[in-house]
Amino acid sequence: MSDHVTAVVLAAGAGTRMKSAKAKVLHEIGGRSMVAHALAAVSGAGISSTVAVIGHDREQVSTHIISLDPAVVLAVQEQQNGTGHAVQVALAALPSAPTGTVLVTYADVPLLTAETLTAFLAEHAASGRAVTILTAELDDPTGYGRIIRDTSGAVIAIREHKDASEDELQIPEVNSGILALDAAFLTDALAGLRTDNAQGEVYLTDVIGIAADRGLPVGAHVLEDVWQTEGVNDRSQLARLGAELNRRVTEHWMREGVTIVDPATTWIDSAVTIGPDTTILPGTQLLGATTIAASATIGPDTTLRNVEVGEGATVIRTHGSDAVIGANATVGPFSYLRPGTELGTKGKIGAFVETKNARIGDSAKVPHLSYVGDAEIGEGSNIGAGTIFANYDGVNKHRTTVGKHARTSSNNTFVAPITIGDGAFTAAGTTIRNDVPAGALAVGNTEQRNIEGWVAAKRPETPSARAAAQSKQESQETHAQENGE
């Protein structure tokens, strides 16, 4: 933006109605904390200078804000003496007095968008006003400050709910708390704010009256989308705004060419991206930085967090995190992809398979009932049902490498570290403890040996021992009857 804008994000409130050990502004909707939504809106509006006012739970909030954007200036409001005091604290924390415009917004209005802020600031700059207020008209304005206009329609004051007269309480237009102010005017006006009100606090909204008394222009930018001005004070409101945000996100992706069969049971975080002609089936959650390429099918009953899904892939009834699924690959049902899983093009991770820190090559398959941890499986190889990659010796993790086009049989155990060569086979029920050369067949079975009476000797007086004794007695009686004894 051509006009320099300093954003002040107010995040110092106690949030007692959340009844949480976590700071209010750190509670999440759409995969982001509320303060992260606020900072994203400010950043998206092209504002490069931001100061956040923190107070309650400052250690939590400051650490989180720094992780989001280290350039944000932090200002500590030791005592919460009102919004005017908070802005005084914010400006005092800046290295120099602000110029141009100061935008004041809040960390607990998570649906406010960058597009709205851009339009709001553009109108303020074009109008030459001292103050522009972001307002909305509500069916039930209880609790909000009312916009007071004169007979010509000009804004002359904002009256807080507790200070409003009966006539003023009937006004439907309310103050969102979000203001754009001329920086020079604001700096001067803040010094004149008083605490003679019902709350005994320094109200930022009193600068409206100061501007009006000086004959300076004050206007309002009326926002029809009232959801964007709604704040969060408790968990019920958090859930309500979370549901509305999710409705907007799913609506956006459907308009971008994504089929979402049941938006009511589909949850998509704000940072997720989805390609066209993808189908999202009911009960699906796409979380974090998940990316879905075109023409994929996800769900039903699938949760993916920070997962990259390739074009044309199918993921059914799967839980995955920090994983990569290649193009035209298939996953599920009932698969568990843990961090570090990479499945190649046309690969398969099938039913009841768990993977972790495993690279599974193009067209390689782990079809069912297996655990694959700390492994590399080469192109075109097939892992038999019930196979365990025994990667942990009780102290350290070890890696197993399976070469290209290998065929391992059912109920194998691979005791890492080992390498199974290209084109090698393994026999069913084999425990592999040593490397298998390329093209070899590994057979680990020995002749079965039965130790008679072991249970009676080693596990006496157990249900197993009693069942065995009963069976032996019945067998003896049957033998006697058959032989006429």
CA gap 283, 253 in Å, rounded: 16
Which pair of tokens denotes residue 375? 């492994």
Tell me the sheet residues that pair with 365. Answer: 348, 382
CA dist., res. 143 & res. 174, Å (int): 9
What does the longest C-alpha to C-alpha distance in the chain come to?
Answer: 122
pLDDT by residue (tens digit) across 80-89?
A: 899 999 999 9
Q: What number is the average pLDDT over the span 123-151?
A: 93
Amino acid code (one letter) for 196: D
Q: Is residue 395 within 8 Å of residue 379, measured between CB atoms?
A: no
Q: Tell me how far CA of residue 215 lies from CA of 5, 157, 180, 188, in angstroms.
A: 23, 13, 17, 15
Summarised one tens digit per residue, pLDDT across range 5-51 is: 999 999 999 999 999 999 999 999 999 999 999 999 999 999 989 99
**pLDDT confidence bin for 91, thresholds 50/70/90:** very high
Active site residues: 368
Only one residue has tokens 């995040």, namely 11
Q: Average pLDDT for residues 309-321, to the nearest whole number?
A: 98
What's phi and psi for 431, nearest 5 deg? -100, 120
Q: Indicate if the pLDDT at residue 2 is higher than 70.
A: no
In whole angstroms, how far apart are CA 4 and each of 70, 91, 99? Answer: 20, 15, 7
Consecutive H or E run containing 43: helix 34-44
Give the Cα separation of 366 and 375 in Å (integer). 12
What CATH number labels 5-229? 3.90.550.10
Whether the pLDDT of residue 214 is over 60: the answer is: yes
What integer pLDDT is reported at residue 1 of this predicted model?
40
Q: What is the pLDDT of residue 33?
A: 98
Task: Find the distance separating the first CA and the last CA of the chain, reported in whole Å.
Answer: 106
d(CA 258, CA 295): 9
Q: Positive or negative, the Cα torsion across 251, 254, 258, 261?
A: positive
Q: For 235-442, give the CATH class.
A: mainly beta
Q: At what angle do helices 183-190 and 206-213 cross, to 10 degrees?
A: 110
Query: pLDDT value at position 485?
Result: 66
Omega before 460 within 30 of 0, i.e. cis: no
Q: Work out the mean pLDDT of the chain and round it to a whole number.
A: 94
In this structure, is the dihedral angle defined by the CA atoms of residues 310, 314, 320 and 326, taken in order, positive or negative? negative
Q: What is the DSSP string of 221-241?
A: EE-S-GGGG----SHHHHHHH
- 3-class secondary structure, 415: strand
pLDDT for 408 equals 96
**How does DSSP assign 149-174, residue by residue?**
E-TTS-EEEEE-GGG--TTGGG--EE
Q: What is the mean pLDDT of residues 384-403?
A: 95
**In 10 A of CB 139, how many CB atoms?**
6
Count other C-beta atoms under 10 Å from residue 433's C-beta: 13
Which stretch of DSSP H or E encloses residue 304? strand 303-305
Residue spans of the domains in the chain: they are 5-229, 235-442
Tokens of 149: 């206009």
pLDDT tier for residue 75 given thresholds of 50, 70 and 90 = very high
Q: How far apart are CA 345 and CA 325, in angstroms?
A: 8
Sign of CA dihedral 458, 463, 464, 465: positive
Q: How confident is the model at residue 197 (pLDDT cuts 50, 70, 90)?
A: confident
The whole-number average pLDDT for the span 247-275 is: 98
**The whole model's pTM is what?**
0.88
Strands (E), 361-470: 365-368, 371-377, 382-383, 388-390, 400-402, 407-408, 413-415, 418-420, 425-426, 431-432, 441-442
Q: Which pLDDT belongs to residue 256?
A: 98
Q: What is the distance between the alpha carbons of residues 320 and 338, in angstroms, rounded to a whole number?
A: 6
Residue 166: burial class (beta carbons within 10 Å; 0-12, 13-18, 19+): exposed
Percent of the chain surpassing pLDDT 70: 99
- The mean pLDDT value for 357-375 works out to 98
Q: Which of 355, 359, 400, 351 is nearest to 379 (CA)?
A: 359
